[in-house]
A = this chain, B = another copy of it.
Amino acid sequence: MTYYEQHQPDFLEGLKTFLRIPSISTLSEHKLDIIRAAEFARDELAAAGMTAAELIEGPGNPLVYAEWLGAPGKPTVLFYGHYDVQPPDPLDEWHSPPFEPTVRGSDLFARGAADDKGQVYIQIKAVEGLLKTTGKLPVNVKFLLEGEEETGGEHIEEYVKSRPPRLKADAAVVCDTEMFAPELPTICVGLRGIVYGELSVEGANHDLHSGIYGGAAPNPIQAIAEILCALKDRNGHILIPGFYDRVVPPSAKEREAWGRLPFNEKEYTENEMGARELVGEPEIPLFERTWARPTLEVHGIRGGFTGQGAKTVIPARATAKISTRLVADQRPEEAAEQLRAAIQAACPKGVTAEFKVLHSGAPSLTNPDDPFIHASAEAMRQVFGKETVYIRSGGSIPIVGVFDRYLGIPSVMMGFGLPDDNLHAPNEKFHLPNFYRGIQAMARYLELLGA
């Protein structure tokens, strides 16, 4: 029995402790939990045998750093993950409390289980196993964990931009993506970028009676509806002028590989998404729609009277959270400007509209022929016993673009989540067999890189 097999109960208990900390970065009242989660990760790294484990304080939530540099002449990899999590609401849809990790069947349910504490814990336990059993690592390893991934905070970006010598590495290993299907080892080579902001619309300076003023008064909710419909048509085409100009379509080879991925559309639609049918640009295949096309979504909206019963007001204001996902080679600053201009152009008479960007990140595409990518594919093939597939993700991991731009290193996206893990939604989970095999695959990856 290997160290990794023997210590599975310890790994599970440790992860549960990590998950009990409600380190929600988007809610300022959880600031102390953020610190607790960062300290937990630092202490786990030190206990695993990593050196120089510490918090890096800065303008936002602390970074966690640790290193092991005892393999001169060998490559250096930089492990990245995040210890912050999404808010858990709507709370009443959880079957067990979001911060009381609960095992049901082969899954561990908790906010952050897959995104991203479970995957950060894979990285920590992989080096722990090697250090405890061999006293060393096959390559040099650095950790840089952040606590603002879900809120788009800029601490890590500012830090990486300053190019500190201790971040020097040959490749980053980012564990924040998912496997395409259960048992199917997967490397993600493309990510969408994002521009996320808040749209505020104001009409009259106070709520008005819809009987007295209906027919004369501007309605900010109706205005938001008109703006949303002007930004995207009923078929999912974004109507913002110039928005598709820089979009690079996937290669014929990539499209062909995507066509061979095991996929059951009915299962995906009905069971995974819980939807009636798929929507979006009808002429574009599904994987291309979610991986290689920009999209625009409204995440939340609020305005007027929403209590029980009826109130006949024309509200003075309304707000909506809106984002657009970007693909290579779109640029976040340019996309934000295009979006802002389109909102102004669509703003109806009688109201003012203001769009404030809350965070943004560039899209990324990694070269699949990179040797660090190949070793990762091989390590996962050995542990999972199947050929590794190359996919993209529709999500956004802004740090990948930052590592590329400021450290000049590729990011290897080894992900162990599953498509039905309910990321950002109630009942987030992590599939425990993936957790345990992920730890082994990560250790094997380091061995292959050092060989």
Across the interface, A212 reaches (CB within 8 A) one of B26, B279, B314, B394, namely B394
Residue A350 interfacial (CB < 8 Å) = yes
Partner of A310, one of B151, B225, B301: B151
A166 → chain B closest CB, angstroms: 30
Given A273-B213, A275-B217, CB of A308 within 8 Å of CB of B26: yes
Residue numbers in B under 8 Å from A278 (CB-CB): 216-217, 350
B26 touches A311 (CB 8 A): yes
Interface centre among A196, A204, A293 (most CB of B within 10 A): A204
Selected from B89, B306, B422, the residue in CB contact (under 8 A) with A206 is B422
**Which of A156-164, A228-236, A249-257 is the contact stretch?**
A228-236
With A206-B426, A279-B350: A221-B305 Cβ-Cβ less than 8 Å:
no
Chain B residues with CB under 8 Å of A275's CB are 203-205, 217-218, 350
CB distance from A440 to the nearest CB of B (A): 26
The answer to whether A299 touches B290 (Cβ under 8 A) is no
Integer count of this chain's copies in the complex: 2
> In the complex the two chains form, is B313's CB within 8 Å of A395's CB?
no
Q: Does A348 contact B (CB under 8 A)?
A: yes
Instruction: Name the residue in A273, A281, A308, A359 with the highest tally of chain B Cβ atoms < 10 Å from its Cβ.
Output: A273
Closest B residue, CB atoms, query A152: B310
- Tell whether A123 is near chain B: CB-to-CB under 8 Å: no
Does B205 lie within 8 Å of A424, measured CB to CB? Answer: no
State whether the Cβ of A28 lies closer than 8 Å to any Cβ in chain B: yes
Option from B194, B276, B425 in Cβ contact (under 8 Å) with A207: B425
Nearest-CB residue, chain B, relative to A295? B214
Let me know if A87 is at the binding interface, CB within 8 A: yes
Kindly supply a per-residue 1/0 record for chain A positions 193-230, scoring 1 wherever the CB is within 8 Å of any chain B CB and 0 otherwise: 01010000001111111111111111101101110110
CB of A300 within 8 Å of the partner chain: yes
User: Which chain A residues in 387-429 approach chain B with CB under 8 Å?
Assistant: 393-396, 419, 422-427
**Residue ID in chain B nearest A276 by CB atoms:** B350
In the complex, what residues of B have CB within 8 A of residue A450's CB? none
Query: What is the minimal beta-carbon distance from A343 to any residue of chain B, in angstroms?
Result: 13
A133 in the interface (beta carbon within 8 A): no
A 54-68 to B, binary, CB cutoff 8 A, 1 in contact else 0: 000000000000000
* 8 A Cβ contacts from A287-319 to B: 289-290, 293, 295, 297-316, 318-319
Pair A394/B299 contact, Cβ less than 8 Å = no
CA distance A149 to B447 in the complex (A): 76
Q: Are B348 and A321 in contact (CB under 8 A)?
A: no
* A366 interface residue (CB < 8 Å to B): no
Is the CB–CB distance between B87 and A298 below 8 Å? no
B207 touches A313 (CB 8 A): no
A198, chain B: closest CB distance, angstroms: 8
Docked CA distance A173–B20 (Å):
65
A9 near B: Cβ within 8 Å?
no
Provide the A24-39 mask, 1 if CB < 8 A to any CB of B, else 0. Answer: 0011100000000000
Scan residues 242-295 of chain A and give those whose CB is less than 8 A from a CB of chain B.
Answer: 273-281, 286, 289-290, 293, 295
Q: How far is the CA of A319 from the CA of B273 in the complex (A)?
A: 20
Q: Given A225-B225, A276-B352, A298-B222: A216 and B290 within 8 A (CB)?
A: yes
A325 contacts the other chain (CB 8 A): yes
Expressed in whole angstroms, the Cα–Cα distance for A305 and B210 within the complex equals 27
Is residue A431 within 8 Å, beta carbon to beta carbon, of the partner chain?
A: no
Whether A186 sits at the interface, judged by CB under 8 Å, is no
* A394 CA to B212 CA, complexed, in Å: 5
A224: chain B residues within 8 A (beta carbon): 225
A-B contact pairs, 15 of them (CB 8 A): A27-B309, A150-B311, A196-B310, A207-B425, A208-B273, A212-B394, A214-B290, A215-B289, A216-B273, A222-B298, A226-B234, A234-B349, A275-B350, A297-B314, A301-B301
